[in-house]
């Protein structure tokens, strides 16, 4: 179906049996996001190993249950001493400590009640010719990680550095939320190059692609693919337009419901979404620039709603060239980050040779006519 509030100026397309809305009737992006993402809550937490957790989204705060190190350790190779025993030592006033300095390797436990590590050249025979304050050259108990420290906050993407801390803290089971997504290719193409691209974007958001089904331009096959298996969400790729071979929306209508088809987003106007049962289905256009724009505007927020991921604080950079926009449409402009700012590359119908140069994008609001060069804008990483 088409959202009732957006059906003005509709045009019947006999070849597809659907009704096409004029651009004035496209659902605004903000409304589309509220309608698509609003009903969903984060998925249930599952426990995985620190290795499996890298790249996933933490389902809850992860706190250390113990101090690290659990005993003082040397930070460098050298001589372990009590600082008070060598106070004031110098080449002109060597000190003979009550106990001979003990050699320690970096990472090894500090012996006895020693509390400083001297450099190799600080000891000549049994004489100490340099001093050091207590705590020099070592990590005390809890200096690396304190019991109760939050190692990863809920909603944070877990990085290799997080894994290092988790394993150092002895945490073997990590709480994460991992959406399982299916891809349905609904376009007639000789080579499906879009599915691997979208799958990589999905994996980068901490989700897993469980299956890619190539249904082609057949509404019955698309409907069958949408009902054949259960996933947390499904993305249908291609076939979202109103041409003779565009049947993504028709297939979704047969399998479940279409809640919106036609978003006030450029590129990506033919995107849509709906449900099969309780599971969301997102329709992405088949053209790479439009598919990427719709994924950034709709797919990424959907996955983040399922993972409970916190939105990163956006970086800002000045535009190196002006951008223009059409009132009433949200617009994605692809860009390349340069040392002195953000270079716009274009949006609608951007050739693949130029799209591959992009490593960022900016989203222009529907009430914006664009920005002059030098304007600081929020940067969306790709």
Q: Are strands 78-81 and 18-21 parallel, antiparallel or unpaired?
A: unpaired
Angle, alpha carbons 199-53-283 (nearest 5°)? 25
> Does one domain contain both 182 and 172?
no
Counting Cα atoms < 13 Å in the Cβ hemisphere of 140 gives 7
> Does one domain contain both 353 and 209?
no
Q: For 249-265, what is the HEC assignment?
A: HHHHHHHCEEEEECECE
User: How many other CB atoms are there within 10 angstroms of residue 318's CB atom?
Assistant: 13
> Does one domain contain both 122 and 162?
no
> Does one domain contain both 221 and 325?
no
Q: Is the pLDDT reported for residue 366 higher than 90?
A: yes
> Does one domain contain both 254 and 287?
yes
Which of 17-26, 296-305, 340-349, 371-380 is least confident? Answer: 17-26
Are 345 and 358 within 8 A, CB to CB?
yes
The region that residue 308 occupies, defined by phi over 0 for left and psi between -120 and 50 for alpha, beta otherwise, is left
Beta pairing partners, 74: 138
Q: Residue 130 sits in a domain of what CATH number?
A: 2.170.190.11
Q: Considering 156, 176, 196, which residue would you say is the last residue of a domain? A: 176
Tokens representing 37 are 């993402």
Q: Residue 56 sits in a domain of what CATH number?
A: 3.90.105.10
Q: Residue 371 sits in a domain of what CATH number?
A: 2.40.340.10
Residue with tokens 């992860």: 62
> Does one domain contain both 203 and 252?
yes
Q: Is the pLDDT reported for residue 170 higher than 60?
A: yes
Q: How many domains does the chain have?
A: 4
> Does one domain contain both 198 and 274?
yes
Q: Residue 195: which of 286, 262, 294 has the closest Cα?
A: 286
Q: Considering 307, 328, 355, which residue would you say is the last residue of a domain? A: 307
Q: Considering 290, 307, 324, which residue would you say is the last residue of a domain? A: 307
Domain of residue 81 covers: 73-139
> Does one domain contain both 301 and 184?
yes
Would you place residue 21 in the very low, low, confident or very high pLDDT band (cuts 50, 70, 90)?
Answer: very low
> Does one domain contain both 50 and 35?
no
Q: Sign of torsion, CA 74 79 84 85?
A: positive
* pLDDT for the residue numbered 349: 87
Beta pairing partners, 116: 81
Tokens representing 131 are 């001093």
* pLDDT for the residue numbered 182: 97
* pLDDT for the residue numbered 184: 97
Instruction: Calculate the dihedral angle through the C-alpha atoms of 268, 274, 278, 281, rounding to the nearest 10 degrees.
Output: -40
Distances (CA, A) of 64 to 74, 151, 152, 163, 297: 22, 7, 10, 13, 36
Q: Sign of torsion, CA 218 223 226 228?
A: negative
> Does one domain contain both 303 and 224?
yes
Which residues, 6 or more positions from 105, have their beta carbon under 8 angstroms from its beta carbon?
74, 77
> Does one domain contain both 233 and 265?
yes
For residue range 109-158, what is the model confidence (pLDDT) as tens digits?
Answer: 999 999 999 999 999 998 999 999 999 999 999 999 999 999 999 999 99
Are 224 and 215 within 8 A, CB to CB?
yes
* pLDDT for the residue numbered 19: 44
Q: Is the pLDDT reported for residue 189 higher than 90?
A: no
> Does one domain contain both 186 and 301?
yes
- pTM, two decimals, is 0.86
């Amino acid at each position: 179906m088409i959202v009732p509030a957006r059906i003005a100026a509709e045009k019947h397309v006999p070849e597809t049996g659907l009704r096409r809305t004029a651009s004035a009737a496209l659902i605004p992006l903000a409304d589309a996001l509220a309608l698509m993402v609003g009903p969903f809550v984060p998925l249930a937490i599952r426990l995985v190993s620190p290795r499996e957790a890298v790249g996933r989204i933490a389902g809850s705060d992860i706190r250390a249950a113990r101090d690290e190190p659990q005993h003082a350790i040397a930070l460098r190779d050298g001589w372990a001493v009590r600082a008070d025993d060598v106070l004031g030592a110098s080449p002109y006033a060597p000190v003979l400590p009550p106990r001979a300095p003990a050699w320690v390797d970096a990472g090894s436990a500090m012996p006895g009640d020693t509390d400083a590590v001297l450099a190799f050249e600080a000891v000549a025979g049994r004489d100490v010719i340099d001093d050091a304050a207590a705590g020099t050259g070592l990590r005390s108990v809890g200096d690396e990680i304190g019991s109760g420290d939050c190692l990863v906050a809920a909603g944070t993407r877990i990085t290799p550095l997080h894994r290092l801390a988790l394993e150092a803290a002895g945490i073997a089971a990590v709480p994460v939320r991992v959406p399982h997504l299916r891809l349905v290719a609904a376009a007639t193409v000789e080579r499906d190059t879009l599915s691997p691209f979208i799958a990589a974007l999905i994996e980068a958001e901490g989700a897993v692609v469980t299956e890619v089904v190539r249904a082609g331009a057949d509404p019955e096959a698309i409907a069958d693919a949408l009902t054949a298996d259960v996933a947390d969400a499904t993305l249908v790729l291609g076939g979202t337009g109103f041409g003779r071979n565009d049947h993504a929306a028709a297939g979704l209508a047969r399998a479940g419901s279409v809640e919106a088809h036609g978003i006030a987003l450029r590129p990506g106007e033919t995107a849509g979404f709906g449900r099969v049962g309780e599971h969301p289905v997102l329709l992405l256009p088949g053209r790479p620039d439009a598919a990427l724009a719709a994924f950034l505007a709709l797919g990424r927020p959907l996955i983040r709603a399922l993972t409970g991921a916190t939105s990163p604080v956006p970086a800002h950079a000045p535009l190196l060239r002006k951008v223009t926009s059409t009132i009433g449409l949200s617009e994605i402009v692809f860009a390349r980050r340069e040392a002195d700012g953000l270079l716009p590359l274009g949006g609608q119908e951007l050739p693949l040779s130029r799209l591959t140069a992009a490593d960022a994008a900016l989203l222009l609001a529907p009430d914006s006519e664009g920005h002059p060069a030098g304007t600081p804008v929020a940067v969306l990483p790709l």
